[in-house]
Structure 1
Amino acid sequence: MITRLLVANRGEIARRVFRTCRDLGISTVAIHSDADAGMPFVGEADLAIRLPGNTPAETYLRGELVIEAAQRAGADAIHPGYGFLSENADFARGVIDAGLTWVGPDPESMEKMATKVEAKALMAAAGVPVLTELAPADVTEADLPILVKASSGGGGRGMRVVRTLAEVAGAVELASAEAASAFGDPTVFCEPYVENGRHVEVQLVGDRDGNVEVFGERDCSVQRRHQKVIEETPAPGLSEETRAALHEAARQAGKAISYVGAGTVEFLLSGDRFFFLEMNTRLQVEHPVTELVTGTDLVALQLAAAEGTPVAPLGFETVAERPPQPAGRGHAVEVRLYAEDPAAGYQPQSGRLRRFEVPGVRAEFENPSSYGIRLDSGVRAGDEIGTFYDAMIAKVIAWAPTREQALRQLAGALERAEIHGLRTNRDLLVSLLRDPVVVAGDMHTTYLDGLEALGGGPDADTVALGGFAAAVALAERARLASLHHSRIPAGWRNVVSQPQLTTFVTDDDTELEVRWYGGRQFRSADLDGVVVERVEHGDETTTVTLGGDGVSRWFVVHVDYEAIDVESPLGHVALTKLPRFVDPADAVASGSLLAPMPGSVVTVAVAPGDRVEAGQQVLVLEAMKMQHSVTAPHNGVVTEIDVKPGDQVSAGAVLAVVSQDETVEEQG
């Protein structure tokens, strides 16, 4: 019996496992990097052990350090979470050899599924449908389009869609480099690319008696960069015959490798046909939707399987008692809330999460007793979203009697959420949850490719109104803070000659000038008829009610030094107040390429004096487990290269300068 468990992971999944351990009376141990020392999961464990360093390679990927930490803490079991070492058979074997209980499948089962190449061959032998594997050197015109995939790992890393023969070599090289960085294995392979396919996966739990139970399927078709964005169960639009065939194929896959514990078999669905993609020999990020609809605790089932408890319809009831179920199983939908900018190619964002509030949350990391919102998050307000790990802020899950209700409830909760400090994909998620194609269940894995415009942020009217409310709030706060003018109306003048001016920068780096008149009543100089009806000050916010057109709208203004966030029924507006005078030292040369985020320079493709074309790659930056190309903004000549491979750079650092042709000619 497990008495003390170390979680060899971080963030949200560590908190999730700790929650079940508390329910079962199991003591917990956290390991953490230096960057994670102040994160919530560390404080929620009974014991915590520091792994010196910041990067995964220095910390969470060091299996020998993790096992040593477990022994030092007196743990008798290790749960790997997902990612990092969760599918590393050598690590699992090391845990077992150290006399500890491994909460996962046998290492031999993991090895059979460790690489997609070997897994496909094994599944084909077991009668599970698979796609034909192609060697990169053997790809012909007739094979196109193809998908280049990393043999190890997952999460969309090391994957490239290729549509021309000329692109094959470059795609293989990039995918191989990304796979080596993310998984330590550069092996890639190719397979036919199925256009408009759906990604459907089946949840399994197996025991040591050879039983493999199916816990339904999940549709994970809404993806970006081959990484899941929305997951749901049951999968919409499946015939009962197709659903039964999927479940049986997954069960056979589990039996073929004598699977023990929780795992997922992923399929590519095209019409009523499906093909094996891979088997994840671990818990999946999207497991909460299955827990909500089936009423089970999958982490508890993992622990039970590791302890040798039979996983049968009656066997797990004593481990994780199902909560009271409403009539019917209902439907659950999960979204992954990321710190990223969808309008900039889903570029990860880093920085401090100043505020994070989701309304209507009924449970965190566990199933609520009735339909509602569940929140699984690794961060809280005030935490830093760094560059060493992925940029997921939270999983927000809605459970409702029907799919339509779950989609609507989740969209409403996200829309009203207050998320300040970083750009996120929140607006995109809300748009997708209300998108007619998604609502109809007709989405596929490439549906997002042409929809970057969805959820593009607040419209111009919302920004203008939010800017006016922010200017009023700042003026009122300054008046109240004044020792001498607190009783004089803000912006008051004996003779009004011109409006007051407050200048902001919006979240998309656009300058916003707000002109307004103060005195006994604030009014906008730019928005016809818009006046301030009321200003109310709270402990941390200022609420400005705007009217003038017969409709009153409230705007809640949060001020954090120069950063201002305005919340209203119209949406969220993020602003930064500009100083009246700009320091010349802050200016950068025209044509400067700035680091979009903190990261490490991987390659530099040009040298000073090289001529480049607009869009040509200048260098590659690695951050948050992904590689990002920095390209020339225009035709011109590289006049400066300020970095070299291996350099660590901060956000906004000048990486290179590309002078436009006209500028170069003038200088000559």
Structure 2
Amino acid sequence: MFKKLLIANRGEIACRIAATARRMGIRTVAIYSDVDRDGLHVEACDEAVAIGGTSSADSYLEIDKVLSAAIETASDAIHPGYGFLSENPVFAKECAAAKIIFVGPPATAIEVMGSKSKAKKLMESAGVPLVPGYHGEEQEVSYLSQKANEIGFPVLVKASAGGGGRGMRIVESLDDLETAVNSSKREAKAAFSDDHLMLEKFITEPRHIEVQIFADEKGNIVHLFERDCSVQRRYQKVIEEAPAPNLSIETRKKLFDAALAAVRAINYVGAGTIEFIADANQFYFIEMNTRLQVEHSVTEAISGIDLVEWQIRIANGERLPLSQEEITQNGHAIEARLYAEDSITFQPQAGVIKHLKLPFDEVRVDTAVRSGDVVSIYYDPMISKLTAHDATRELARSKLLHAIEETEIDGLESNRQFLMYALGHPKFKSANLHTGFVEENANSLLKPDGYPDQLHQALAAFLLLKQRFEEHMDIVDAHNKNPNPWDEKAGWRVNGPGLFEVDLSYNGEIKSCLVSIEKKHFQILKPFKTKMLMPAIRWDSENYGSLLRSVETKNKSINFYADIEHVTFFLKERTLSFASPRKATTSNTDALDETSFTAPMPAKIISVNVRAGTEVTAGTTLVILEAMKIENPIRATKSGVVETVFFAEGDIVEEGEILLKFTPGEIN
């Protein structure tokens, strides 16, 4: 067995690989960009090498930098994880040339299966069912238009290299094809350094089912069952499970046979996933991922097999540890991906994680971030993967839902609410799923919350005042005896209660609260009236604790995070975050008013489509932003004329910065 393993990745997968390597007695080396110098994956490894850069292109995708780090640290092998260089055949070849073991398949297999068009031709010759489409070399828009007409709309435009939904667009008509092709090419080039596209017939209401396979150098091949990854947003998986529910024994056997036939066709070695889409009557090959998958945890849960250990052993030239007959399936597992993103629009978020509490005691947790860490614009915004395993699907679903309800995050938005809605949806419960599940049930899955009730408004005002008083005076009992914070020091007046005004902003809606502070009570005098006892507070840290209240003779607690400008309550059913700047201001993610457009998130500008004097109609794309490798177009909401453009392509903008000025009006 080799002695030292360099992990050519970051985040939770780098931590995951390091954990298995440590258990196997293998020393590990981390690499890190300028953004990741304080990353948890750096701490998880025995050694670490700085490779510089900020974006993926000038850090983790730089083959020379990665190989130099491996040579410098005398690493015997490199594990690429997933994403980045994991499916780059040039990297695999360079590793071999440097006499460094690549923990993955041969470069030839990566090359063939990494090109979706080449892979489909090979699968067709192997008898694996394919979706009708075009997988050729000609890439002119006029030719792609001709092929799209032959296939029949709607069609799916896909990047030939890579995966994860990057460079993928559904096109309903010929009029929309050119825009989709150009956008897909840009996104594919940025993510995979390859803008080659392919077209496929878009199958309505398909399920996304994949088979995990392993092969060794001796010609032994096994499958580790299948996964259902049909719950997706923005063409990316967000909830995965194993085994796939509501699948007949006959269909499951055919899936396994097709997957194994695909592997035999390319003399494969290592871990891989054969992905299919399936409708009621048939399944079709869509691609092979020649690497470990993000969702490998559900397979590990039902099989009891450490997939990373198997990868390492096979890379070391060993046989598969188990035969097909020795691999057994136990229970059901479901994984949910917790992202820093808006729960309704799925716009990626960036910023500081002020508070994070993950349910380590409830489910398997894969993460690489902590309270105080920064989610940057340069990489995937995943916070954690949560995986529940139990005897049945319903038990696993309930366990995962409870774990997500117990999860707390503050400082930036997350998709926690969406995950709870999805796991609790009747169609998810009954496993009536397809890849359009989210869009089809948008009204119930992507619904905005109303303004919080008066109780939580009052408690938010109370906590904000408390934090602001404590900023200026030492009024916290060191022994946590929860005194009245205003006793004899502030907020008390000889001739009556102290009056304070606090602005509360929730989802951009501001309410001004007039608060009266007394000895044992506080009151809200406007915009509503209520009076309550001062709640006791149990502090766990300077900003995090629990409010303790007596309700109908029972004590109830509410966990919260608070500072001088915001309060967040962590409730089972939702997270309530009130902002309260010293001078509260309204913000709008699309426009400050009808004449200004702002950045909805920290991002890089990759395209500016207008200049001063450009006349546009409603719906025209003005600027395209890129954050976490996803394109986000900013479109005109009305017809008019562009006055001023404040940024150029390549600029980095912060959330809320004005991108351009615009004069609405009729145009000729």
TM-score by length of 2: 0.90
Specify the alignment match of 1:338 in structure 2.
Answer: 339
Kindly indicate whether residue 567 of structure 2 is the aligned counterpart of residue 568 of structure 1.
no
CA distance in 1, matches of 2:551, 2:397: 35
Match of 1:608, as an amino acid?
Answer: A
Q: Distance in 2 between matches of 1:180 and 1:661?
A: 37
Amino acid in the other structure paired with 1:513: S
By how many angstroms is 1:141 displaced?
A: 7.3
Tell me the equivalent position of 1:282: 291
Q: Deviations over 1:239-285 (max 9, x none)?
A: 00001110111011111111111110000011141000000000000
Partners of 1:453 and 1:156 in 2: CA distance = 23
Give the alignment of 1:66-105 within 5 angstroms: 66-105=66-105
Aligned equivalent of 1:349: 349
Question: 1:641: Cα distance to partner?
Answer: 0.8
Residue 538 (structure 1) aligns with: 539
Report the counterpart of residue 385 of structure 2 in structure 1: 395
Quote the Cα distance in structure 2 between the aligned partners of 1:463 and 1:6: 52
Q: CA separation in 2, counterparts of 1:404 and 1:483? A: 51
**Who is 1:366 aligned against?**
none
Mapping 1:169-180, distance limit 5 Å: 169-180=178-189
Distance in 2 between residues matched to 1:257 and 1:83, nearest whole Å: 21
Cα deviation, 1:218-247, whole Å, max 9, x if unaligned, reads 000000111001000010000000011101
Distance 1:105 1:573, change over 3 A: same
- Is the Cα–Cα contact under 8 Å of residues 242 and 272 in structure 1 kept in the other structure? no
Does residue 305 (structure 1) correspond to residue 314 (structure 2)? The answer is yes
**Residue 411 in structure 1 maps to residue 411 in structure 2:** no
| Letter aligned with residue 92 of structure 2 | A
> In the TM superposition, what is the alpha-carbon distance from 1:142 to its structure 2 partner?
6.7
Q: Give, in whole Å, the separation in 1 of the partners of 2:585 and 2:283.
A: 60
**2:17 matched residue in structure 1:** 17
1:556 Cα deviation after fit = 2.9
- Matched with 2:508 is 509
TM-score (norm 1): 0.90
Offset, 1:535? 1.9
Question: What is the deviation of 1:379?
Answer: 1.2
In the TM superposition, 1:315-330 aligns within 5 A as 329-330=330-331
What is residue 592 of structure 1 aligned with on the other side?
A: 596
**Is contact 1:30-1:49 (8 Å) kept?**
yes
Q: Matched residue of 1:522: which SS?
A: strand
Q: Aligned residue for 1:369?
A: none
Aligned to 1:250: 259
SS at match of 1:94: helix
Contact 1:375 1:397 in 2 (8 A): yes
- 1:652 aligns to 2:656 (yes or no): yes
SS in 2 for 1:259: coil
The aligned residue for residue 173 of structure 2 is 164
1:119 and 1:200 map into 2 onto residues whose CA distance is 18
Displacement of 1:597: 2.0
Deviates more, 1:411-420 or 1:32-41: 411-420
SS at match of 1:618: strand
Pick one of 618, 621, 624 that aligns with 2:625.
621
Aligned to 1:199: 208
The amino acid of 2:633's aligned partner reads S
3-state SS of 2:647 partner: coil
AA in 2 matched with 1:623: A
Distance 1:478 1:529 in 2: 22
Matches of 2:151 and 2:9 in 1, distance apart?
44
Range with greater deviation from structure 2 (177-186 or 230-239): 177-186
Give the 3-state SS of the residue equivalent to 1:465 in structure 2: helix
Pick closer, same or farther for the CA change 1:498–1:390 going to 2, 3 Å: same
Match of 1:266 in 2: 275
Change in 2 beyond 3 A, CA 1:640/1:238: same
- Most deviating of 397-406 and 473-482: 473-482
Distance 1:467 1:657 in 2: 36
Partner in structure 1 of residue 140 of structure 2: none
TM-superposed CA distance for 1:515, in Å, is: 3.6
Residue 523 (structure 1) shift = 3.3
Shift of 1:97: 1.0
| 2:558 aligned with 1:555 | yes
Q: Please list the CA deviations of residues 24-72 of structure 1 after superposition, one character each: whole Å capped at 9, or x if unmatched.
A: 0000001110100000001111111111211111111111211111010
* Aligned CA distance change for structure 1 residues 469 and 285 (closer, same or farther; 3 Å): same
Inter-partner Cα distance in structure 1 for 2:437 and 2:385:
21
**Given the superposition, is the C-alpha separation of residues 249 and 184 from structure 1 closer, same or farther in structure 2, using an over 3 Å criterion?**
same
Residues 338-386 of structure 1 show CA distances to partners (whole Å, capped at 9, x for unaligned) of 111132x311100011111123x24xxxxxxxxx500001211111000
Q: Distance in 2 between matches of 1:658 and 1:495?
A: 54
Deviates more, 1:573-582 or 1:71-80: 573-582
Query: Aligned-pair distance for 1:637?
Result: 2.5
Shift of 1:316: 13
Cα contact 2:642–2:661 (8 A) shared by 1: yes
Structure 2 distance, partners of 1:554, 1:537, is 9
C-alpha separation in 2, matches of 1:509 and 1:167: 34
Residues 118, 547 of structure 1: CA spacing in aligned structure 2 closer, same or farther, 3 A cutoff? same
**Secondary structure of 1:139's aligned partner:** helix
Which of the numbers 641, 647, 663 marks the counterpart of 1:637? 641
Amino acid at match of 1:393: I
CA distance in 2, matches of 1:442, 1:144: 26
Report if the CA contact (8 A) 1:475-1:490 is conserved: no
* Residue equivalent to 2:487: 487
Supply the RMSD in Å over aligned alpha carbons. 2.7
Q: State the Cα distance separating 1:609 from its structure 2 match.
A: 2.3
Partner of 1:611: 615
Whole-angstrom distance in 2 between the partners of 1:104 and 1:27: 19
1:429 Cα offset (Å): 0.4
Shift of 1:469: 1.0
Note closer, same or farther for the CA distance 1:245–1:569 as it changes in structure 2 (3 Å cut). closer
Where in structure 2 are there 5+ consecutive unaligned residues? Answer: 135-143, 476-484
Number of equivalences: 640
Secondary structure at 1:428 match in 2:
helix
* Structure 1: gaps of 5 or more residues: 363-371
Kept in 1, the 8 Å contact 2:604–2:626? The answer is yes
641-650 or 547-556, which deviates more: 547-556
Residues 65 and 548 of structure 1: CA distance in aligned 2, closer, same or farther (over 3 Å): closer
Change (3 A) 1:255 1:521: same
- Per-residue CA shift, 1:173-215, capped at 9, x if unaligned? 1111211111111111111100000000000010011111100
Deviation at 1:555, TM superposition (A): 2.8
* Sequence identity percentage: 38
Greater Cα shift, 573-582 or 209-218: 573-582
Question: Once the 2 structures are TM-superposed, how far is the Cα of residue 102 of structure 1 from its aligned partner?
Answer: 1.1
Residue 308 of structure 1 deviates from its aligned partner by 1.2
Closer, same or farther: CA 76–42 of 1 in aligned 2, 3 Å = same
CA distance in 2, matches of 1:148, 1:66: 32
Q: Is 1:229 paired with 2:238? A: yes
Deviation at 1:544, TM superposition (A): 3.0
8 Å Cα contact 2:209-2:278 kept in structure 1 = yes
| Displacement after TM superposition at 1:615 (Å) | 3.1
Q: Which amino acid aligns with 1:514?
A: C
In 1, Cα distance between equivalents of 2:148 and 2:572: 53
SS in structure 1 at match of 2:569 = strand
Q: Secondary structure at the match of 1:2?
A: coil
AA at the equivalent of 1:617:
T
Q: Say if 2:428 is the partner of 1:447.
A: no
Q: Which whole-Å CA distance do the structure 1 matches of 2:218 and 2:21 have between them? A: 24
User: Where does 1:363-402 land on structure 2 (aligned, <5 Å)?
Assistant: 372-402=362-392
Aligned partner letter, 1:63: I
- Deviation of 1:79 after TM superposition, in Å, equals 0.6
Structure 2: which amino acid aligns with 1:235? Answer: A
Distance across 2 between alignment mates of 1:450 and 1:574: 28
